[in-house]
Amino acid sequence: MGCSNCGSGGGLPGGCKNNGNCSTSGCNKLDVFDWLSHVELAPGQRKYDIVEVRFKGTRKGFFRISGGLDLQVGEVIAVESSPGYDIGVVSLKGELVKVQMKKKKVQDTIELKKVVRRATQEDVTIWQEARQMENDTMHHARILARESGLSMKISDVEFQGDKKKATFFYTAEDRVDFRELIRKMADTFKTRIEMRQIGARQESARLGGIGSCGRELCCSTWLTDFRSVSTSAARYQQLSLNPQKLAGQCGKLKCCLNYELDMYMEAVKDFPSPNIKLQTKKGVAYHLKTDIFKRLVYYIYDDGIAGSAPLALDLTTVNEIIAANKAGDKFDDLKDYEVELSPVEEDTDYLNVVGQDSLTRFDNSKRKKKRPNRNRGGKSAARSGEKPALNQSRENNPRSNNNRRKPNGPKSQGGSEKPTNNSAHNGKKRPPRKLRPPNKD
């Protein structure tokens, strides 16, 4: 994504620096491949006089060609607007425009706006200046909305090609009275203001982004219709009902949950209901999970049966057991019909992708050995099985009272210092302290 008309990059005007006339147009949002471009018209058939024009983001429109212009895909043109004119890029022309108009339910009537002319260099310059103003205008508008105390989020701003009108796109949970806000914006930006409320999905489609799959958002590249997505789509596909994983960039459920839903619903019809229990002579087995791709059903016995473990049964076997239960018969044990699953082979191709050795700094062979704690006398000796003496431990211990350095006390009247603990014993060492016998209770 790089063209300025889609609002996703820099350049003059596009990120590809081809002025929007690249050969593939792969950087455009909602791009359409014209598979009828090389098909010649029948004799006497006139060219279709309506073109599809692309504006900023995912906004497109249909305009009638006037004045006999022969437009090409990728040309920058000026089209009618109210008031003034707008600047856009031709994204589609010819017979395929009829298909697009029918898909979007646009009628070919006289009310369609017309193409004014090809954009001149002055038009392109004003258009580029309008695009550069949009980011600062959006942030300033957010400040004005916050000062007005409105609970709304202004997500995007789009200036008209002639800078005579600015359209503000916002999202809000409730209705917002923005009449006072429009007056402030008109006084600040000196242009005509239009407010347009959009949903969360339309907001993500305009802004774009990268999804959890690593690709660009579907709504900003090719998806145009936003169908409702419910949690039942995740249940059919046996996905974890975790809202953090099922939600997209817009905060709603991902649209891609509906892509494979029809296939899952068709495949689930062959499987029995998970509420059905299997009656056997050993006990009752309950449904645990279903593997649609391998066509396996997992059952587990009641918790009261010792040694119960999940059992993988083939779909055909499960249907036979259910039919036998309806007839009043019971199988001996489900373990006799368990499918042997092949063990999963560990892929060793990517174990050393960064070129590391088999030994790392976390292995035990490279760990530093702990040194014995010399501060607590006798601890290292206790590990070797020897019983240290208390006198020896106090001499070696630098934190003992004998080796501790104490400040001098206050001097007496005769000038002599107060004796310390060592002088109190006349140079003799303090006798060892008697150990208290352990409590036998």
Domains, the chain, in order of start with CATH, read 4-120 (no CATH), 127-204 (3.30.300), 227-269 (no CATH), 278-337 (no CATH)
Q: Is 395 helix (H, G, I), strand (E, B) or coil?
A: helix
Q: Write down the pLDDT at residue 133.
A: 93
Report the sign of the C-alpha dihedral through residues 361, 363, 364, 370, in that order.
Answer: positive
Name the DSSP letter for residue 250. Answer: T
Span 75-104, pLDDT tens digits: 999 999 988 899 999 999 988 999 899 988
Share the mean pLDDT of the chain: 78
Say if residues 158 and 165 touch (Cβ distance below 8 Å): no
Q: Write down the pLDDT at residue 44.
A: 79
Span 54-63, pLDDT tens digits: 998 888 999 9
Q: What is the DSSP string of 24-80?
A: S-TTSTT----TTTTPPPPTTPPPP-EEEEE-STT-EEEEE--TT----TT-EEEEE
Count of Cβ atoms closer than 10 Å to residue 382 Cβ: 13
- State yes or no: pLDDT of 72 exceeds 50: yes
Q: Which residue has the higher pLDDT, 415 or 289?
A: 289
**Strand bridging mode 165-171 / 85-92:** unpaired
Residue 45 β-bridge partners: none
Span 238-293, pLDDT tens digits: 888 888 889 998 999 999 999 999 999 998 888 998 889 999 888 889 988 888 88
